[in-house]
Structure 1
Amino acid sequence: MNRNVVFYLIGCLAVGNGLVLLIPMAAALFWGEAGLRYFGPAAAAALLFGGYCLYRGRTHKRHLGAGEGSWYMVAVWVFLGLLGMIPYLMAGTFASPADAFFESVSAFTTTGTSCLADGGAALPASLFLWHSLMEWLGGLNFILILVSVLPQVSGCFGLTLSVHQSVAFSPMVSRMESAARQAGCIYVAITLCSMVLYWLAGLPAGTAFHQGLMTMSTSGGDALFDFSNYNSLGLEAAGALSMLLASGNFLLYWKAWERRDVKSLFKDAELRTFLILIAFTGLIVSLHLWRHGVYDGWDNLRYGFFQVLSFSSTSGFASADYAAWPEFDKYILFALAFVGGCIGSATGGLKVMRFMVLFKMAAQEMRRTLHPHMVISLKIDDIPVDMKIISRVLSYFFLFMGTFFLSMLIISLSGVTPMQAMGVAIGCLSSVGSTMELFGINDVSVLPAWTKIYCSFLMILGRVEIFSFLIVLQTAFGYLRRRW
């Protein structure tokens, strides 16, 4: 395995995040807070570590293999979790390192749950800014990894299907950097668009800035911002549109921008399926809420569709007290957390494209049972799906569900009910912390320290898409076997 390229990539990320730490530090000094004490040690550690990694990786080969990509993906999230906890510890926000690490990992993985009783609303302004930046950087880092490193590790898992195989993935670092720049530009542009929408909806500029960062990274679901406190239809519309944009395929956006053809977006089967899913489930939930008289008139549609979009995008924002909804509606929201948004977005979950492959494959197997000699080709957007991609989708689905059920059993040892354990497990794996609130867990800080560490591991596992972690274990065991 070529370790130098791993050091080089981690060094670039460490230096970038270290420079970002200078933003809240400067803001803290401007606001009269202890910026040097909060952020100085973290910035210095990130820059020194990044400089060391860049020096170690100065002679790296311009090629990334599956092993190197896996080690990079796992190391990135562990490093970010450790880096993000330093300002909290220096400020004395958490007495326990486990709480600080959980808070940091939750922000960087855009899970959106918090160990703070008020969700961080009482934090100093500079730490509040750092929290929002961590969530936004987490979404950006995931997008950059998704379009550059992940295809080399997991064979895209159907990623190429969602852009009509018009994006060429290459193990060459230079081409990976080009794809990352394209996705990064779209990410920044839609973030700015979201901020403007919130500002036009009536939020102050500062609040719109924070809310735009959280929405774009799909990291809502905590008490930092509650739509129900505003009771504003315009604000909810701005949030819904922002979540919808954040759930789409960023590579698809880039291609539409290059071709100046917005209509091409709706030619994508995955996006159409996602929109149909939102419309269908939103209508079902709204009608059920109306039948049980939960809200008056059109409010059933208003709150039903918003929460469906919130859970489908794995943002987890709340415009209503959905924990008090009928069990049927809560179950639909819980199921949507498994699905997530489109491949190529910052959302969590299994992604719509993989479910499309699974359902089409199941339908074709039924036809093959009736007609054993029929030759069937699975197609999406009239593009044949390679059997290698289908087998990887099946493998990932099995690993995801297996990890979910095993994690549910482990988390239940902390004293929570089985349903609460399910909510915590899928919340961490799919990066949508609001599933915990569906079943009555409103304060994560009461969980034992070992549970928080395990949940942090689950959040990272969900972001590296499990296979990367297994490859890391395989290469680590192989190295130990050779050494001993």
Structure 2
Amino acid sequence: MNRSIVFYLVSRLALINGLALIIPLLAALWWGEAGIVYFVPALAAALVVAAFCRYRGRHHKRHLGPGEGAWYMVAAWFLLGLLGMIPYVMAGTFASPVDAFFESVSAFTTTGTSCLADGGAALPQSLLLWHSLMEWLGGLNFILLLVSVMPQVSGCFGLSLSVHQSVSFSPMVARMQEAARQAGLIYLAITVFSMVLYVLAGLPVGMAINQGLMTMSTSGGDSLFDFSHYDSLGLEAAGAVSMLLASGNFLLYWKSWERRDFKSLFYDAEWRTFLTVVAVTGCFVSFHLWRFGVYDGWDNLRYGFFQVLSFISTSGFSSADYSTWPEFDKYVLFALAFVGGCIGSATGGLKVMRFMVLFKMAAQEMRRTLHPHMVISLKIDSVPVDMKIISRVLSYFFLFMATFFVSMLIISLSGVTPMQAMGMAIGCLSTVGSTMDLFSVSDVSVLPAWTKLYCSFLMILGRVEIFSFLVVIQTAFGYLRRRW
């Protein structure tokens, strides 16, 4: 494995995310807060790491292999968590560095849960701005890794993209940068559009900016902004549209814009399936709420659809107190956290495309049982899916579910109930912290330090999609075996 390319990529990541600290630093100076104390040490640390890694990677090659890509992705999320915690530590926000690390990882992985009992209401404005920026940068970093590095490592991204949408994934760094640039521009454009929607819905500009950053990164959860406090149909509509756009495939958006053919969005099987799941599940939950008299009239549709979209997009925003809903509806929301949005989005979960492959494969195996000699080809958008990809989807599904159940058992050792452990495990794996609220996990700060560290690891594991971490372990053991 060539470590120079890993150092080179880490140096760029540290530099870009470190320079983002200048924004809250300037804001703190403008607002008369101790921004120099909060942000200058973090900025200095980021620049030192960037300079060191740049020096170590000065002779890097222009080709990224699976091993290098896996190490880079795992190192990237741990590095972001460490850099992001420094302002909290310098401000004395948390009694323990573990809490600061958990808060930072939760923000960068867009999980949306918090160790702050009040959601951060007592924090200085500049730290609140930094928290929103971490969430937005976390979504952006995930998108950039998803379209550049992850296809080289896990191989289960882009199931039919390479053929159907003329998107190619190359191990060459220059081509990876081009794919990242395209996805990044779309991410930025939709973020601005979301901010405009919130302004039009009546939010002040400052709050609209913060809310746009959080919504596009699908990192709601325990944020200060709660739709239920405003009881505004306009704000909920702006949030719903933003969450819907954040759940879509950003490369699909880019191709539609490049060709000026927005109708092609609805020709994509995954996007149509996602919209169908939202519509059917939203109607089902709304009907059940109406059947049990939870709300009056159309409010059942209003709150039912918003919560369904919030959980399937792994955003975790709330427009109603769903902890008082019937148990059936809460379990539906819990199940949606496993699904997530489309491949190529910033959402967590298993993704709709993988479920499509799993269901199609199950249906074909049933037909093969009745007709053993039948030759069947699994297709998505009329494009055959290679058996190697199907095998990887099956492997990932098994690893995801195995990690979920093992994590549930480990977290239950901290003294929480089995249902609370399930909510925490899938919340961290799928980056939707609101699953904890479903089962009354309201204060994460009281959990043991080891539980918070394990949950932080689980959040990172969900973002690297497990395969990368396994590749890191494999290459590490191989290196040790060769050395000893």
TM-score (norm 2): 0.99
SS, match of residue 155 in structure 1: coil
Specify every segment of 5 or more residues in structure 2 that has no aligned partner in the other structure, as ranges. none
Indicate yes or no: 2:412 matched with 1:420: no
Q: Which amino acid aligns with 1:224?
A: L
2:363 maps to which residue? 363
1:251 maps to which residue? 251
Deviation per CA, 1:196-229, whole angstroms, max 9, x where unpaired? 0000000000000000000000000113210000
1:303 maps to which residue? 303
Deviation per CA, 1:46-84, whole angstroms, max 9, x where unpaired? 011101111111111000000000000000000000000
2:279 maps to which residue? 279
2:76 maps to which residue? 76
Q: Following the alignment from structure 1 to structure 2, what is the Cα–Cα distance between the partners of residues 40 and 265?
A: 44
Report if aligned partners of 2:411, 2:421 keep a CA contact under 8 Å in 1. yes
1:104 maps to which residue? 104
Indicate yes or no: 2:200 matched with 1:200: yes
Q: Following the alignment from structure 2 to structure 1, what is the Cα–Cα distance between the partners of residues 157 and 344?
A: 11
Deviation per CA, 1:354-399, whole angstroms, max 9, x where unpaired? 0000000000000000000000000010000000000000000000
Q: Could you tell me how far 1:158 is from its partner in structure 2? A: 4.1
Report if aligned partners of 1:340, 1:348 keep a CA contact under 8 Å in 2. yes
Matches within 5 A, 1:224-235: 224-235=224-235
Q: Following the alignment from structure 2 to structure 1, what is the Cα–Cα distance between the partners of residues 137 and 223?
A: 20
Indicate yes or no: 2:36 matched with 1:43: no
Deviation per CA, 1:332-361, whole angstroms, max 9, x where unpaired? 000000000000000000000000000000
1:89 maps to which residue? 89
Q: Which amino acid aligns with 1:390?
A: I
1:17 maps to which residue? 17
Q: Following the alignment from structure 1 to structure 2, what is the Cα–Cα distance between the partners of residues 163 and 331?
A: 37
Q: Following the alignment from structure 1 to structure 2, what is the Cα–Cα distance between the partners of residues 335 and 57?
A: 43
Q: Which amino acid aligns with 1:67?
A: G
Q: Following the alignment from structure 1 to structure 2, what is the Cα–Cα distance between the partners of residues 265 and 104?
A: 35
Q: Note closer, same or farther for the CA distance 1:162–1:333 as it changes in structure 2 (3 Å cut).
A: farther
Q: Following the alignment from structure 1 to structure 2, what is the Cα–Cα distance between the partners of residues 245 and 120?
A: 27
Q: Could you tell me how far 1:155 is from its partner in structure 2? A: 1.2
Identical amino acids, percent of aligned pairs: 83
> Which is further off, 55-64 or 153-162?
153-162
2:465 maps to which residue? 465
Q: Could you tell me how far 1:406 is from its partner in structure 2? A: 0.1
1:145 maps to which residue? 145
Matches within 5 A, 1:205-354: 205-354=205-354
> Which is further off, 46-55 or 193-202?
46-55
Q: Following the alignment from structure 1 to structure 2, what is the Cα–Cα distance between the partners of residues 158 and 48?
A: 36
2:129 maps to which residue? 129
SS, match of residue 118 in structure 2: coil
Q: Following the alignment from structure 1 to structure 2, what is the Cα–Cα distance between the partners of residues 18 and 100?
A: 17
Q: Could you tell me how far 1:122 is from its partner in structure 2? A: 1.7
Q: Which amino acid aligns with 1:431?
A: T
Q: Following the alignment from structure 1 to structure 2, what is the Cα–Cα distance between the partners of residues 164 and 316?
A: 32
Q: Which amino acid aligns with 2:243?
A: M
Q: Could you tell me how far 1:233 is from its partner in structure 2? A: 0.3
Q: Following the alignment from structure 1 to structure 2, what is the Cα–Cα distance between the partners of residues 430 and 224?
A: 21
Q: Could you tell me how far 1:97 is from its partner in structure 2? A: 0.8
Q: Following the alignment from structure 1 to structure 2, what is the Cα–Cα distance between the partners of residues 53 and 165?
A: 36
Report if aligned partners of 1:163, 1:252 keep a CA contact under 8 Å in 2. no
SS, match of residue 474 in structure 2: helix
Report if aligned partners of 2:156, 2:392 keep a CA contact under 8 Å in 1. no
Q: Which amino acid aligns with 2:62?
A: R
Report if aligned partners of 1:316, 1:433 keep a CA contact under 8 Å in 2. yes
SS, match of residue 49 in structure 2: helix
1:31 maps to which residue? 31
SS, match of residue 319 in structure 1: coil
2:443 maps to which residue? 443
Q: Following the alignment from structure 1 to structure 2, what is the Cα–Cα distance between the partners of residues 43 and 427?
A: 30
Q: Following the alignment from structure 1 to structure 2, what is the Cα–Cα distance between the partners of residues 200 and 110?
A: 25
Matches within 5 A, 1:111-190: 111-161=111-161, 164-190=164-190
Q: Could you tell me how far 1:162 is from its partner in structure 2? A: 8.3
Q: Following the alignment from structure 1 to structure 2, what is the Cα–Cα distance between the partners of residues 179 and 296?
A: 48
Q: Following the alignment from structure 2 to structure 1, what is the Cα–Cα distance between the partners of residues 157 and 21?
A: 34
Report if aligned partners of 1:201, 1:238 keep a CA contact under 8 Å in 2. yes
Report if aligned partners of 1:162, 1:343 keep a CA contact under 8 Å in 2. no
Q: Following the alignment from structure 2 to structure 1, what is the Cα–Cα distance between the partners of residues 325 and 138?
A: 31
Aligned positions, number = 484
Q: Following the alignment from structure 1 to structure 2, what is the Cα–Cα distance between the partners of residues 330 and 483?
A: 52
Q: Following the alignment from structure 1 to structure 2, what is the Cα–Cα distance between the partners of residues 119 and 36?
A: 24
Q: Could you tell me how far 1:161 is from its partner in structure 2? A: 3.9
Q: Which amino acid aligns with 2:24?
A: P
Q: Could you tell me how far 1:156 is from its partner in structure 2? A: 3.6
Q: Following the alignment from structure 1 to structure 2, what is the Cα–Cα distance between the partners of residues 165 and 369?
A: 34
Report if aligned partners of 1:310, 1:318 keep a CA contact under 8 Å in 2. yes
Report if aligned partners of 2:221, 2:432 keep a CA contact under 8 Å in 1. yes
Q: Which amino acid aligns with 1:148?
A: S
Q: Following the alignment from structure 1 to structure 2, what is the Cα–Cα distance between the partners of residues 290 and 357?
A: 34
Indicate yes or no: 2:5 matched with 1:8: no
Deviation per CA, 1:421-446, whole angstroms, max 9, x where unpaired? 00000000000000000001011111
